[in-house]
Amino acid sequence: MQKLFFISFLLLSVVLIGCETERVIFTGPYFVRFTETSLSKKESDSKPIYIEVHMAGPALTEDVVVNYKISGNARENVDFTVVGDRGKVTIKKGEYFGTIEINLINNANNIIRSQDLILTLETVSTSKLKIGQGESGIGNQYTLTIIDDCILGGTYIGQRGSVQAPGISIISNDCENYLLSNWNINVFNTGSEMDLLFIDNGDNTLTIPEQEEENLSPTQATIRGTGVVDPLTRQIIMTITLVDFTNQPQVTIAYIPD
């Protein structure tokens, strides 16, 4: 009986030892990498793009300068510009993140395609850090895909009289037929946004075909109109006719690229 108990105890000890989890302690090397590795943006997006590079490891008591290479088929100063020091990003001492700032250039030409801006981390100013995570250098490259937009596509500020309405969008799938997100700028005493369809005639004029506004009653809903485009500034002036109203009044709205 004692022998059987001893054998059972020994077997149990072996099982427990075999199930014990081995502690894995990270010993380095520490590294820098892009936080994300890709992004897609329309060229009409006027907001700066901030591409983040971060450091994995203790904050250092010195600035960390990471040098990067620019490649891809996107053209600098034609499709994009780099703000600040081209080809380098700095992580300030005591901090963990640095950013590369990119601005897109809206050179819309009614040809819908895309270009890639590729950034590749190459060197870092201290031997305490390496480029990329792990043996394969994960995160050492970032791809920004710049999607062409139609000439009139983008974000606008609508203005009628002294009233302005920011954040109005114009989109198109074929660069001929467009959808405007809001023409109700100081027209009706309601906060409802009212969209409309218009056609680019290709000669700096626009046609607003007759259509029904779903946010108005059927007895007031019909609109149509015309528009003109300044080819240099891309500012749009629309004249909209309220067909169902007495004397068919017209309202004029300006849309200024944001």
Distances (CA, A) of 108 to 31, 141, 160, 199, 234: 39, 27, 26, 17, 11
Q: How confident is the model at residue 27 (pLDDT cuts 50, 70, 90)?
A: low
Where is the domain boundary, 126, 147, 168?
147
Characterize 108-131 residue by residue with b for buried, 16 or more Cβ atoms within 10 angstroms of its Cβ, and e for exposed: bebeeeebebbbbbeebbeebbbb
Kindly tell me if the per-residue pLDDT of 239 is higher than 50: yes
**Assigned domain for 100 exists:** yes
Based on the domain organization, do 164 and 179 belong to the same domain?
Answer: yes
For residues 48 and 131, membership in a common domain is answered with yes
Does the residue 1 lie in any domain?
no
User: What is the C-alpha R_g of the chain?
Assistant: 30
Residues 124 and 184 in one domain: no
**Residue range of the domain that includes 119:** 30-147
Any domain includes 14: no
Question: Tell me, what CATH number does 79's domain have?
Answer: 2.60.40.2030
Instruction: Answer yes or no: do 119 and 221 share one domain.
Output: no
The percentage of residues in the chain with a pLDDT greater than 90, rounded to a whole number, is 75
Residue 164: which residues within 8 A CB-CB, separation 6 or more?
Answer: 157, 158, 185
For residues 160 and 91, state if they share a domain.
Answer: no
Overall domain count for the chain: 2
Q: What percent of the chain has pLDDT over 70?
A: 88
Considering the domain architecture, whether residues 108 and 169 belong to the same structural domain is answered as no
In this structure, the answer to whether residues 117 and 207 fall within a common structural domain is no
pLDDT level of residue 6 (50, 70, 90 thresholds): very low
Instruction: Looking at the chain, list the stretches that DSSP marks H as alpha helix, in order from N- to C-terminal side.
Output: 2-19
Tens of pLDDT, residue by residue over 179-236, are 999 999 999 988 899 999 999 999 999 999 999 999 999 999 999 999 999 988 899 9
Same domain for 163 and 118? Answer: no
In a domain, 199, yes or no: yes
What are the backbone dihedrals phi and psi of residue 6, each rounded to the nearest 5 degrees, phi first? -65, -40
Q: What is the reported pTM? A: 0.69
Residues 102 and 164 in one domain: no
Q: Model confidence over 64-97: pLDDT tens digits?
A: 999 999 999 999 999 999 999 999 999 999 999 9
Mean pLDDT of the 131-135 span: 93
Query: Is 19 within the bounds of a domain?
Result: no
Return the half-sphere exposure (C-beta side, CA atoms, 13 A cut-off) of residue 135. Answer: 0
3-class state of residue 66 by DSSP:
strand
